[in-house]
Structure 1
Amino acid sequence: MSIIKHNLPTEETQIEIIENDLLLPEYGEAMLYHDAGRFGYVKIGVKDNNGWQDESFRVEELPERLKYLPKHRDSYLTQSEFKGPQKAVSNFLRTQVNFSDCDIYKIPLYQGREPEELRDIFLLFCADNGIPTPSLIVFSGQGLYPKWLFDYPIPYAALIKWRAIQQELLVRLTPLGADPGAIDVSRVLRIENTVNTKTGKFAKVLWVNEDHGKVARWDFDMLADEVLPHTKAELIEMRKKRAEAKKKHGIISSYDSEVLRQELEQANRHIRELSSEGLALARLKDLEIIADARFGPMGVPQGERDKYIFYASIFIAQFIKNPLQFYPELRAMHQKLTPSLPWNEIQSSTSTAYRKMLDAFAGKKVEYKGRMIDPRYKLKNQTIIEQLQITPGIERKCITIYGREERKRRQQRQKERARREQGVPERKVYILKRHEELQANIEKARGLRAEGKKVKDIALEMDKSAKTIESYLYQR
């Protein structure tokens, strides 16, 4: 039975649609970043005397669900949209908002303040510390949900940058009680006009950043430039400096200069974080591509299932921010890749990856070739290609799992695209153009010769050497 629709639309259960001048759409602020005209799934969760219940449904149903959602229960909504009912990273489809959950009421200095006072404190803190102004601020019944809306939703490909923004906002808003457990893409936040039973207060929009009569929105890349420590251009420059330093001094571990080592580590911290997470997410996506290419809609067959789910567990362990996310993410991949494999077998085959992940979160290291490194599995592409029997044709479909020959092919294509952008034509086009120019020159030279002009005069007129003109005249 639906956790929402069994509540009939009576005067007692229907949310009061508050008339306001805060530029909000009907049924609340959620419709600012959830477009009912898009495909996708969201999830509403409620908590009452019966415990926690949640339900996934299509985005197009959200306005109706919000309209009849009881306001007397703790109610939550996913901020992102997903390809299927499971709210897992591997199912992520799009999002149109960055957010934070600031438990500002836990800070002794701000305890006992009214919501409007907390709002003003937050905005002043942002202004004083160079934090971009949010599009709106929601009062959760205790704390604040600042939200930065985008002009357009971002897809899976931009998820790594989105996560980096979330992490940086967490760091910069820590003095205001930012919750480190509320930054993931599958996070649910309280729904406007529903009660927070801990305080008896209702969640509500406290403030909206107005821009020409509309809610102010950010260009996603501009927001990233404002929030993240370095812009893309700066990252490229740092990569260049790192390469020069390595060429001059050798590998980082052998630097004699501690200052240089620290500078390089600081400069490349952000790059390493993005690349490791990005690689894991891309490989997880590739695993779906490979399974679909090899086995089609029938799914991974018996004899291959353990291998695929084990690799999925390795990649999941590398990108999650909280150990509690491991099994929900694994269940989502289980439904996609190996639905016929019993869950207890999956837990058994992935137990080592799970244990290594827990060790990593506990800060443990293992020794490898004289260095202390992260204990989680690290796989080379060639190993994955051999184990999963990936053909060159499948490699072409993958995002990041491909071998040396496919890498060369992609690099060549990148060079060709760069040449096209610079205005350099394709070789066959260039040869054809040169041939046409040659024929035109031959015809012109012969025409001038037919008029009785001398070779040296033709050469002067056509800005060519006399020898070239002779080749035009006598070429068959």
Structure 2
Amino acid sequence: MVGKLDIEVFYDNILPEPNLIIFSGRGIVCVWLIEPVPYKALPLWKAVENYFYEQLSYVGADKKSLDPTRVFRIDGSVNSKSKREVVVEYRHGDRYVLRDLQYEYLPELTRTGTGKKGRKGELVRLHNIQTLHYARLLDLIRLAELRNYDLKGYRELFCFLYRYWSCCLTDDPDEALRQMIELNAGFKEPLSEKEVIRATKSAEKAWMARNDAKANEEARKKGYPGAGYNLKNSTIIRWLDITPEEQRHLQTIIDANEKRRRKRERDRARTGELRRGQGAKTREEYLEEQRERTEDKAWQLQKAMERHPDATNKQLAMMLQISVRRVQQLKRLVKN
């Protein structure tokens, strides 16, 4: 009944107060409104969602409700299955900031120690893995864009990887399948829906094994990090024939050479910032200063030649306190 919901985690400050509570006719939906965030914040959003789910699992929380594309029933509509009216209880209108939720409820994600054990360490590990999966999905889409979606010869691999990483990110195989079919439809020459589903079925099986304790145990006995596909960048690059130029546009699917190139760029940028902070000139400023000095010396040489038309280059050099070679260079500028 509206107003009678009593979930202790909201009163013990284990979770923040929801903005909305939807009585859907078949259950209860808690909704937290957040300020807009960039798409790259999806892994953090997912980590917060997982944490909230864990805290509510004791009252039967449904993990299928965690995907980012979930749409809930609206107030006043009727649930076609239960025939009950959907009712929404509005608790408050203050939107949360995603980072504030992280710092207040998942502070372990802000720490960098890798030796963590227990539930907190597991949350950090899951957040890092989800961030990687999301970045790789973005890399696949970017690579498809770079190739103008002309992926003949690579379509099965693209769809397989996309379906697997999407399963890992969303924990929703149905949503992962839908997104993969949508990706395939965007290819210049898409595979038939039946063919692409059949060709990538093993991606979902690998994801299921990845979430199976026994399968993970067996994989570790064989020397693997765990069940599922633990692909190296070098393997993905080889499978998709990703060129060095293409890697420049990707986030994570890059080889050692590209990593070194990026490090050199970062080092140069830091060095440049340091030099500018110490008063060093930029290259443009330096070149402009040199140009002005050259023009000034050329003007001095021209005046000296007008006053001493019979002077030799050596004599002119002594007058201006520059080298004979510099006099010769400046004379060419004066003549031009």
1:320 equivalenced with 2:173 (yes/no): no
SS in 2 for 1:132: coil
The 2-side partners of 1:219 and 1:421 are apart by: 32
Instruction: Note if contact 2:108-2:124 (Cα within 8 Å) is conserved in structure 1.
Output: no
What do the CA deviations read for 1:122-150 (whole angstroms, capped 9, x no partner)? 4x641214311222333323533222212
What do the CA deviations read for 1:277-308 (whole angstroms, capped 9, x no partner)? 222222122112212213x25x322x332332
1:216 equivalenced with 2:94 (yes/no): yes
Give the paired residue count: 291
The 2-side partners of 1:143 and 1:419 are apart by: 58
Letter in 2 for 1:169: F
Quote the residue 1:409 is aligned against: 261
Quote the residue 2:208 is aligned against: 358
Deviation of the 1:179 alpha carbon:
1.8
The 2-side partners of 1:354 and 1:146 are apart by: 29
Q: 1:272 to 1:424 in 2, by over 3 A?
A: farther
Q: 2:31 aligns with which of 132, 147, 153?
A: 147
Deviation of the 1:371 alpha carbon:
3.2
Q: Which runs of 4+ in 1 moved over 6 A?
A: 420-423, 430-433
The 1-side partners of 2:103 and 2:69 are apart by: 24
Letter in 2 for 1:283: R
Instruction: Note if contact 1:288-1:337 (Cα within 8 Å) is conserved in structure 2.
Output: no
What do the CA deviations read for 1:157-194 (whole angstroms, capped 9, x no partner)? 11100111111011112233322221111222111110
Query: 1:193-204, aligned counterparts within 5 Å?
Result: 193-197=76-80, 200-204=83-87
Q: 2:56 aligns with which of 150, 159, 173?
A: 173
**Going by fraction, where is strand more abundant, 1 or 2?**
1
Instruction: Note if contact 1:318-1:376 (Cα within 8 Å) is conserved in structure 2.
Output: no
Give the gaps of 5 or more residues in structure 1: 1-113, 210-214, 243-262, 437-473
What do the CA deviations read for 1:388-427 (whole angstroms, capped 9, x no partner)? 2222221111121111122122223334555677774697
Query: 1:189-268, aligned counterparts within 5 Å?
Result: 189-197=72-80, 200-209=83-92, 215-232=93-110, 235-236=111-112, 238-239=113-114, 242=115, 263-264=116-117, 266=119, 268=121
Q: 1:270 to 1:149 in 2, by over 3 A?
A: same
Q: 1:426 to 1:274 in 2, by over 3 A?
A: farther
The 2-side partners of 1:394 and 1:346 are apart by: 25
Give the gaps of 5 or more residues in structure 2: 290-320, 324-336
**Cα RMSD, aligned residues only:** 3.4
Between structure 1 and structure 2, the one with the greater Rg is 2
Instruction: Note if contact 2:161-2:203 (Cα within 8 Å) is conserved in structure 1.
Output: no
Query: 1:41-60, aligned counterparts within 5 Å?
Result: none
Quote the residue 1:134 is aligned against: 18
SS in 2 for 1:196: coil
Deviation of the 1:195 alpha carbon:
1.5
Quote the residue 1:334 is aligned against: 184
Taking structure 2 as the reference length, what is the TM-score of the superposition?
A: 0.73
SS in 2 for 1:195: coil
1:300 equivalenced with 2:147 (yes/no): no
* Residue identity (%): 26
Taking structure 1 as the reference length, what is the TM-score of the superposition?
A: 0.53
Q: 1:346 to 1:141 in 2, by over 3 A?
A: closer
Quote the residue 2:238 is aligned against: 386
Q: 2:2 aligns with which of 112, 115, 118?
A: 115
Letter in 2 for 1:348: R
SS in 1 for 2:207: helix
Q: 2:66 aligns with which of 175, 180, 183?
A: 183
Deviation of the 1:370 alpha carbon:
4.5
**Going by fraction, where is helix more abundant, 1 or 2?**
2
1:291 equivalenced with 2:141 (yes/no): no
Query: 1:410-425, aligned counterparts within 5 Å?
Result: 410-416=262-268, 424=277
Deviation of the 1:230 alpha carbon:
1.9
